[in-house]
């Protein structure tokens, strides 16, 4: 079996790619190294895959521009994780990149899949599509109300999956990831910043009062849920929440990190940024029933794993700041 993984050099994509390779699948990886963060960490992820696995092939291509028919035809299943990430950067001049990389790229892949009926298309969406939800835990049936341009583009990708499933018979499954963390987390994400600052003794800025909560989900659990979506007997066009079940305030996570660092943290609280929601919490009953989704990693275990990874990462060339 051959899997196509877009965004294979990124945070979640690299973990998914390695899990597939470890189980003996052939993987065709795609990444265009967009400039949302520095290239060295992505290259480090990619070099590890290429060095350790003979059945990995990499194609550097921009999904919004390239001819994808031949690439899609070679795969038995498509995991579409490539995206322009981040809520705060999606305003203003960068919005065009979000449309190109989150909407147009998704549409190009779905168009290419029309020539290969029956293949599963697993789309990585985001809890950002909910905005400030009115129901907690939030089920998939709640009307999405994104609070950021990023969330809007990810919801657009979901709509594309549904309409291609309904009109062209494609077998799509969309997954709404809730605040994924763990080793290799993107440099702009909170736990990456907090762990790095705790180790280096630098100050931490939290946007908001720190009492906002998130349903934090460890990357290994996200990978397990994503893989399950590629083979479970579900309806084409289905959508599932993937959350870790550890809705926790930012202040509580900082206490855990302080314990791992063995020191008090220098934390400053600032005004919340546009697009940041107050709380998130996933109702994962559908994913548990239909995908067998069962997250195994507690927040304490996951943060300890990310903290130890950060110690190693800070000793590598890829950790250099811009």
| 233 and 166 Cβ atoms separated by less than 8 Å | no
Q: How far apart are CA 125 and CA 103, in angstroms?
A: 11
| 164 and 110 Cβ atoms separated by less than 8 Å | yes
The answer to whether 164 is a known catalytic residue is: no
> What pLDDT does 47 receive?
81
- Catalytic entry in 150, 164, 177, 181: 150
> What pLDDT does 40 receive?
83
Q: Evaluate if residue 322 carries a pLDDT over 60.
A: no
Which one is the CATH code of 2-319: 3.40.50.2300, 3.40.50.720, 3.40.50.300, 3.30.1370.60?
Answer: 3.40.50.720
The closest alpha carbon to 121, from 92, 158, 67, 66, belongs to 158
Q: How far apart are CA 203 and CA 196, in angstroms?
A: 10
C-alpha distances out from residue 59 to 36, 72, 91, 168, 190, Å: 19, 12, 30, 27, 30
Q: What is the pTM of this model?
A: 0.96
pLDDT band at 210 (very low <50, low <70, confident <90, very high): very high
> What pLDDT does 321 receive?
64
pLDDT band at 37 (very low <50, low <70, confident <90, very high): low
pLDDT digit string, tens, across residues 135-174: 999 999 999 999 999 999 999 999 999 999 999 999 999 9
pLDDT digit string, tens, across residues 100-125: 999 999 999 999 999 988 899 999 99
Domain range list for the chain: 2-319
Residue with tokens 């910043």: 193
pLDDT digit string, tens, across residues 166-201: 999 999 999 999 999 999 999 999 999 999 999 999
Residue 43 CA, distance from chain mean position: 18
| 205 and 154 Cβ atoms separated by less than 8 Å | no
pLDDT digit string, tens, across residues 250-300: 999 999 999 999 999 999 999 999 999 999 999 999 999 999 999 999 999
């Amino acid at each position: 079996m051959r899997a196509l993984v877009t965004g294979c050099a990124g945070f979640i994509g690299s973990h998914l790619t390695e899990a597939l390779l470890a189980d003996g699948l052939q993987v065709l990886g795609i990444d265009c190294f967009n400039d949302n963060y520095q290239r060295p960490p992505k290259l480090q992820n990619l070099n590890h895959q290429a060095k350790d696995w003979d059945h990995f092939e990499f194609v550097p291509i921009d999904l919004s521009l390239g001819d994808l028919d031949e690439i899609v035809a070679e795969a038995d299943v498509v995991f579409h994780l490539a995206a322009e990430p981040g809520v705060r950067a999606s305003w203003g001049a960068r919005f065009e990149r979000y449309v190109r990389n989150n909407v147009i790229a998704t549409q190009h892949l779905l168009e290419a899949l029309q020539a290969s009926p029956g293949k599963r298309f697993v789309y990585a969406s985001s809890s950002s599509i909910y905005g400030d939800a009115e129901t907690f835990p939030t089920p998939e049936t709640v009307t999405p109300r994104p609070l950021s341009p990023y969330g809007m583009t990810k919801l657009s990708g979901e709509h594309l999956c549904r309409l291609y499933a309904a009109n062209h018979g494609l077998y799509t499954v969309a997954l709404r990831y809730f605040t994924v963390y763990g080793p290799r987390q993107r440099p702009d994400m909170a736990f990456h910043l907090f762990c790095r600052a705790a180790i280096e003794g630098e100050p931490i800025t939290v946007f908001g009062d720190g009492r906002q909560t998130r349903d934090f989900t460890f990357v290994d659990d996200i990978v397990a849920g994503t893989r399950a979506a590629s083979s479970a007997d579900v309806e084409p066009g289905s959508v599932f929440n993937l959350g870790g079940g550890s809705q926790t305030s930012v202040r509580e996570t900082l206490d855990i990190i302080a314990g791992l660092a063995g020191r008090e943290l220098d934390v400053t609280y600032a005004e919340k940024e546009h697009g940041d929601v107050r709380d998130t919490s996933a109702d994962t009953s559908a994913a548990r029933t239909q995908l067998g989704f069962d997250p195994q990693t507690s927040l304490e275990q996951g943060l300890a794993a990310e903290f130890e990874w950060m110690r190693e990462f800070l000793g590598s060339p890829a950790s250099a700041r811009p």
